[in-house]
Chain A
């Protein structure tokens, strides 16, 4: 049971209020038709399986229904950073 800080509610909340939506910063190609099948396949299906700092997209489902990003350490389960969608703070060692 993680304790997650929602940047929109400004509070820590229990994990059961949230849902993880997978790896963060998977940008939808601006011109999908211009993508080869391989490029589109990478966008669709290829994800990191990081050991250590992992950027994830979460949504505060039963709270404010807003999405936000976290950097979660997959080894320690520590949440090292929480930040708004549309931003991407640099973090030492974090996979991009």
Chain B
């Protein structure tokens, strides 16, 4: 079958460039400039899918974003599958592979058609809720088959081979829509020197002018389009985005645009080009020139393939050179649709009749049609359709003036195509995205944008103004106004547009064409084609008490499809109003939300995927860690060495080896990730006293001190060591994960509560590379690498720091310990971190220096009962709950942060959860972290829970397991036994003890 419906001339397609494509396994041919839909129609393909619920055959209805039926699966390979592509918006390219989304196993014969036939009775609206939700356990089973049979498209199971990205923009005037209105607006705004962006979802700019025969300034409209496009292209401050759908309009004039950069080129984007791009635009002013979509009329069997929108038929003829049938019946309630009869007649194919619901009409277009000798039947309507897989005839009858009832005799008009038009619905979707409600306008028989908070102008079709001259003029005016309000212009000479006005006779408000039978008994009159919502369904919903339009929508699923009810919603609202005996204005409309059309996940993710999904932070010593086989642990965004396995080792074996190396000789840890804040100013000490719970007044130069930070509620939120570098100069350390949070918190207090304190804080986390050497041999090792630091144990004591040179690099060395061993924390400028680390490894070889990671560090500190904030704490524990009352100085003169909070009645009540040590009775059992403690393991569920395990390890030092955890009143329950029931039914028995498992007097760190 070749292109039987293709005209030999006309349209904007290039007949010299044939393209072959595949649809449902068959090869077809179209031309460059086609959409997939126009190419299918050219080839006489009538059925492009099956309906969702009733599995009825469906054909192409529209020519744009509103298409409900022609929703395709595209992709030549598994990796390039894209579901739910509207054939009307998919440009044809050589080798395009497509298949119908709906209709498993195929569109011509499928399982659901049998279900569907019964289903007509079986599946009324609310069917899913009523039937399948009960019993609830069966729902997954039903859903699986319904979804499979209905076919909602499928995404690829493989990684998308294409790339996507985001581009940010700022502009003065953002114009949505490049039809006559938008182009006139862009031209005007650009002429003022303003920065302009104009976007349109279609392949090329021009909108309605692409299929128009009107003249602008005496020339074909398409010539004007080309002139303006050329003019705008030459302006460096204009960004033109065809194939770009403005999908969201957000607060403060933020607009998101989905550009399909390569979807028209091939199955995959060319090398070096992203397939799709999200444009994120912040605009001073937005001009909505989104135009209008034609509203179909609702009548019985209006879903039979061959029933189409009138304007779509015109578009296929005028723009694509495709006549989608042989014999046309046009059903209309307005003058505009007469253009379709004129276009059809011009192709030499037969216009059987124009059926006009109005008693009379004498507009220019009507006259032209009558003059051509085409039969026009006034005061009548198509109320039913004959035919199954294609229209065979239209049944018409007289209609009362109010459109509520049929009158007179029926007549059957033989035809294969019925074009219908109920008038225009302004495309108000974007105007609703920021919360504005559209308003019904009786004059234009449609909703127009309501009041908005946005700096937004509207022009042309979106206001219900359809005359070309009005569109051009309004667009131009909006362009100038938007530019002027953004600080540009005014311009002296404005272009003039000369367009012959078309006189139109008044349109008639008609939505549902009545049938001979009442709604509930009439054959199906489809409102929402994609979701198979009928007028009877809406009536049933209202009868069951769903009177709010939002409820009707949810109950019937009207507008829930991938087309979001672009064709059906207004008719649905009108029918709801009619059934309820209300006006449409009273019934109101549902609200449209982003996105206007479906969008790929790739475009949303952009570059933020794979390796670039999130920032990864590394220390200066990362190359060494990688070369030496470290496994890494995520700590916030940081990648920290977790442990350094040697070949053949299990994780536990590695940890044991690393732990024992620290206890017996020397280990080395990369501690660079700790947050570090440089604090300077004469009030630095006072500031520290206010933000830490302990005292700082007497900390001398050269000394370090551990501190706890609480929030105002008295609960611990960070900890670390702060050192006095000079009288007015301190270096604070924070937890790795808390660094940014703590700095912002300190700034908050300084800026808002205590601006009189002379103190400045600066992050130096990245500046210092920090390596901790820990173990009895650490002093000997350090001594071999420094000659200007006195390491004598009586002069460089525990909790002292000294400046000096280590391995030839200026360093600050802090004698602090998180392992309980003799330790030195060496800080050098990170530019020299790697070289110093390597030197330590080289010289440390004689002591068998052992690199250790975070997991080993956790074991070592747990052996000493040192907490990790965020692991052993969870924002519900005071320092007292942690057994760290020694770190609180309640007598400090200033009421430090947390002091009042920890004195609250609740914070001092008995039996609070407190941190204790826990030893499993069986020393080889490591109690799983998170295990809940109970006093009586035989208590029936729900059991009384006393607390949970926060840290739990096997300690190689002690040759047994150790744990820390919270227990109600735990500090007073030393020696008691608690039980940890496990998911497998077993129970672990443990004894409450001090959390300091090793070297309780702290001798080892003081040597």
**A: which residues have CB within 8 A of B?**
1-3, 14, 19, 21, 28-29, 31-33, 35, 37, 40-41, 43-44, 57, 59, 61, 65-67, 76-78, 85-86
Q: Mark B178-190, 1 if CB is under 8 A from A, else 0.
A: 0000000000000
Beta-carbon contact of B904 and A14 below 8 Å? no
Beta-carbon contact of A33 and B747 below 8 Å? no
Q: Which residues of A contact B744 (CB under 8 A)?
A: 19, 59, 61, 65
Tell whether B346 is near chain A: CB-to-CB under 8 Å. Answer: no
Contact of A67 among B282, B713, B751, B899 (CB under 8 A): B751
Beta-carbon contact of B252 and A2 below 8 Å? yes
Nearest CB on B from A93, distance (A): 16
Q: Mark B751-786, 1 if CB is under 8 A from A, else 0.
A: 111010000000000000000000000000000000
Q: Beyond A32-B895, A61-B744, A67-B752, is A14–B712 a contact (Cβ under 8 Å)? A: no
Q: Which residues of A contact B901 (CB under 8 A)?
A: 40, 44
Complex-state Cα separation, A31 to B744, whole angstroms: 24
Tell whether B1004 is near chain A: CB-to-CB under 8 Å. Answer: no
Tell whether B254 is near chain A: CB-to-CB under 8 Å. Answer: yes
CB-CB nearest in chain B for A77 = B251
Restricting to B691-749, which residues have a CB under 8 Å from any CB of A? Answer: 712-713, 744, 747-748
Beta-carbon contact of A67 and B900 below 8 Å? no
Q: Which residues of B contact A14 (CB under 8 A)?
A: 282
Complex-state Cα separation, A84 to B364, whole angstroms: 64
Q: Which residues of B contact A35 (CB under 8 A)?
A: 900
Interface residue total, chain B, C-beta cutoff 8 A? 25
Beta-carbon contact of B904 and A28 below 8 Å? no
Nearest CB on B from A11, distance (A): 12
Q: Which residues of B contact A57 (CB under 8 A)?
A: 752
Complex-state Cα separation, A44 to B282, whole angstroms: 37
Beta-carbon contact of A33 and B752 below 8 Å? no
Nearest CB on A from B491, distance (A): 27
Complex-state Cα separation, A57 to B747, whole angstroms: 13
Beta-carbon contact of B282 and A3 below 8 Å? yes
Q: Mark B246-278, 1 if CB is under 8 A from A, else 0.
A: 000011111000000000000000000000000
Complex-state Cα separation, A78 to B753, whole angstroms: 27
Beta-carbon contact of B282 and A85 below 8 Å? no
Q: Which residues of B contact A43 (CB under 8 A)?
A: 712
Contact of A59 among B282, B748, B903, B905 (CB under 8 A): B748
Contact of B752 among A29, A37, A85 (CB under 8 A): A85
Q: Which residues of A contact B254 (CB under 8 A)?
A: 1, 3
Beta-carbon contact of B751 and A37 below 8 Å? no
Complex-state Cα separation, A28 to B900, whole angstroms: 11
Tell whether B453 is near chain A: CB-to-CB under 8 Å. Answer: yes
Beta-carbon contact of A1 and B747 below 8 Å? no
Q: A3-B254, A77-B434 are in contact. List 6 more A-B contacts (CB 8 A).
A: A1-B251, A31-B895, A44-B901, A65-B744, A78-B453, A85-B755
Q: Which residues of A contact B748 (CB under 8 A)?
A: 21, 59, 67
Beta-carbon contact of A28 and B753 below 8 Å? yes
Nearest CB on B from A45, distance (A): 9
Q: Beyond A33-B900, A44-B901, is A86–B253 a contact (Cβ under 8 Å)? A: no
Beta-carbon contact of A85 and B252 below 8 Å? no
Task: Identify 29 residue pairs between A and B in the complex whose beta-carbon atoms are under 8 Å apart, listed by A's number.
Answer: A1-B252, A1-B254, A3-B252, A3-B254, A28-B712, A28-B753, A31-B895, A32-B899, A32-B900, A33-B895, A33-B899, A40-B901, A44-B712, A44-B713, A44-B901, A57-B752, A59-B744, A59-B748, A61-B744, A65-B744, A65-B747, A67-B747, A67-B751, A67-B752, A76-B435, A77-B251, A77-B453, A85-B751, A86-B755
Beta-carbon contact of A2 and B752 below 8 Å? no
Beta-carbon contact of B251 and A66 below 8 Å? no
CB-CB nearest in chain A for B743 = A65
Nearest CB on B from A23, distance (A): 12
Beta-carbon contact of B900 and A1 below 8 Å? no
Nearest CB on B from A28, distance (A): 5
Q: Which secondary structure characterizes the binding site on chain B?
A: loop
Restricting to B210-261, which residues have a CB under 8 Å from any CB of A? Answer: 250-254
Complex-state Cα separation, A43 to B900, whole angstroms: 11
Complex-state Cα separation, A59 to B740, whole angstroms: 13
CB-CB nearest in chain B for A67 = B751
CB-CB nearest in chain A for B253 = A3
CB-CB nearest in chain B for A43 = B712
Q: Which residues of B contact A67 (CB under 8 A)?
A: 747-748, 751-752
CB-CB nearest in chain B for A57 = B752
Q: Which residues of B contact A3 (CB under 8 A)?
A: 252-254, 282
CB-CB nearest in chain A for B750 = A67
Nearest CB on B from A82, distance (A): 13
Complex-state Cα separation, A77 to B712, whole angstroms: 30
Q: Which residues of B contact A77 (CB under 8 A)?
A: 251-252, 434, 453
Nearest CB on A from B454, distance (A): 10
Complex-state Cα separation, A57 to B749, whole angstroms: 12
Complex-state Cα separation, A37 to B905, whole angstroms: 7
CB-CB nearest in chain A for B435 = A76
Q: Which residues of A contact B252 (CB under 8 A)?
A: 1-3, 77
Q: Which residues of B contact A85 (CB under 8 A)?
A: 751-752, 755
Complex-state Cα separation, A77 to B901, whole angstroms: 34
- The 5 A-B pairs with the shortest beta carbon distances in the complex, nearest first, are A32-B900, A3-B252, A1-B254, A76-B453, A32-B895
Nearest CB on A from B292, distance (A): 27
Nearest CB on B from A62, distance (A): 11
- Most A CB contacts (10 A, CB to CB) among B712, B751, B753 go to B751
Q: Which residues of A contact B755 (CB under 8 A)?
A: 85-86
Nearest CB on A from B436, distance (A): 10
CB-CB nearest in chain A for B280 = A1
Nearest CB on A from B878, distance (A): 14
Q: Which residues of B contact A65 (CB under 8 A)?
A: 744, 747
Q: Which residues of B contact A40 (CB under 8 A)?
A: 900-901, 904
Nearest CB on B from A80, distance (A): 11
Beta-carbon contact of B895 and A66 below 8 Å? no
Q: Which residues of A contact B282 (CB under 8 A)?
A: 3, 14
Nearest CB on A from B758, distance (A): 17
Q: Which residues of B contact A1 (CB under 8 A)?
A: 250-252, 254
Q: Which residues of A contact B900 (CB under 8 A)?
A: 29, 32-33, 35, 40
CB-CB nearest in chain A for B168 = A14
Q: Which residues of B contact A19 (CB under 8 A)?
A: 744
Q: Which residues of A contact B752 (CB under 8 A)?
A: 57, 67, 85
CB-CB nearest in chain A for B747 = A65
Complex-state Cα separation, A1 to B594, whole angstroms: 14
Complex-state Cα separation, A66 to B453, whole angstroms: 28
Complex-state Cα separation, A94 to B904, whole angstroms: 33
